[in-house]
Structures are given as structure tokens and as C-alpha cells.
Structure 1
């Protein structure tokens, strides 16, 4: 993966040790599946590949709060994946090693964050990363809406073609027959 990272994004990452990213990519899993586990696997791979490329862009060296330089490491934390027909929106946080555990928790619990858009350039493996102010409110609203019905655990998942089912706020991942609220005996019109 080759990244063209804006100076604003690099400055935010170096200053805070974290950024929240939103990637819009084609969704073409092999074999074809719209199940959340398949989407999450692809989303995690993208986030990890992006984080590795971002570290390479930083030159593997960052300044720590004590102003000493050391080799950087980073972690990608998947926040949400949304399927929209043949597209997948992947929201994830990147944390550099100098981001404190307390600040990570604060960021992880925060819906509204500055968004850095990851956009694919052409058909090859090149991406542009820019700070996108108009996405801040849209992403925050979308996550807040998902949180109203999805009580965890994260990452959040939605699919516009196959709406997600919930049992007391928990996303149903498997066969609906395994969940009491979806069993045939509880469906309208079922005869014993």
C-alpha cells in the first residue's frame, strides 16, 4: 500500500499519537458473504495494512513527549464497518505507541472525532489520506445512531442490503433459530 498523507494528518498523528480514519473501499469478499465476520476480517486487514504503511510514511521514527526519538509502533483499532451495496466504509483509530492508555480509552469512548479520509486512487494500491472536516459530524451522527440499537461489543456493523438483527441490543451473528426472540414458536402466525 502506498500512501500520500496530507501534512495536516501527519501533524495530528504526531501531536496526539492518534487519528480516526474513514476508508471507503470496494466490498468484494471471496467467497461472497455479507456476514459481519467476513466484513470485519477485510476491514481489519485494511486497517492493519494502512497502519503499517503510515508508519513507513513517518519514517519509523516519532518524537516522544520527552523529545527523544525512538522506533515507532502503532495499533489499528476497528471502530465500525458499514456495507453499502458493493462498498464498505471502515472507521478505525490508529494509535502510536506514545499515546497513553488513558487517552486511548478516552478516544475509544468518544463518538465525535476529527476524521481523516482514506481514499483509493485509481485501480492500484495507492491511497490519499486527508483531513475531511465535513465528515466529522456525519460520522459522529452515524455512530451515535448505531449505538442506539447496538449495545456492543464493538466494532459496530451495519448492512444496507441485509439489515442487522438485535436481541436486547446484542447483534445477532449466527443462525436466527439459536435466539429465543427469533425462534419459530415466537413468530406471529406460528401454530404449535
Structure 2
């Protein structure tokens, strides 16, 4: 079963490619899909709060094998029929309202450094609604600072010492501006 963020079913060529990659016959695969503009699409996007944190952890060169456990939350934005608005809302829900707690192996010093660098506020592009940032970069995701894609606040605990570090914060004014 694969879940896709799209308004259209995958083309036959993609189904066959996934079947080949997984060793499953195409008829044994199930694709669930929902557009960003739908409630289901919005939920599945903001449910990635922990995923985006792990992606940024990898970008920061912190060893992923040192992440023992984690949980993430983010508010669920109201759906909107306009794609750019819906995409902006779902990204803002994580960037300005997401919260992640991580338990990591390694020194307390390294856990503290990770916490400091992990929140979205550490990005040069932080501070505007995502739809405005996306428009400023003419729709080029790759021009946006990749460090923006992370939760607003983080809690990182070094499990060997129990030392816990907090960084970032939820920005309720920006959420209200974006989510209405």
C-alpha cells in the first residue's frame, strides 16, 4: 500500500515501476491518493512532522542510527480549494506549529547542538508564510533553504544522561496568519 499526495491516480508506468521495484504484481499493489487541497491530504502531510525532522537531522549530518525514538505533532489546517494556499497551510502547520520530541544516543553536548540547529527558525527563509516564500522563489522548491523544512519546536533528550534540550517555539501569530 502506498499513499500519494496527488489529485490523480498514478499512471500505469509508475504502478509497473513500483511493482518491479517491490517484486509484486501490479494488481497486488494498492495506491491511496489524496490532493493537498483535501482534508485527507492535509492530514497525511502534517502527519510528517517527525519525518521532516529526521530528514533535517540527516542534512545536519547527525547520525540517524543515534535517533532511538521520536514523536511529532502539528495542527491540521482547514482544506482550501486553491493548491498554493493548501500547500502553504500544510507547510506552515509544521514550520510554525509542529513539535517533535526525540531521544538520541550520544553525548549531551551533541544532543544540545542538534536541538539548537533543528527548529525551522534556524533557517534563513524563516519568518513568512510558506506560500509567500514559495512565490518569492518562483515555485522552485530547491531554491528554498532546505533547513526551513522542519518543526517549529524540538525537544531532544540524550538518553545516556537524561539531559533534555529545547529549542524553537510554536509561532501562533504566524499560524493564525496562515491558517486563518
| TM-score, normalised with respect to structure 2 | 0.34
The structure carrying a bigger helix percent of its residues is 2
The structure carrying a bigger strand percent of its residues is 1
Which structure has more relative contact order (CA 8 Å, sep 6+)? It is 1
| TM-score, normalised with respect to structure 1 | 0.33
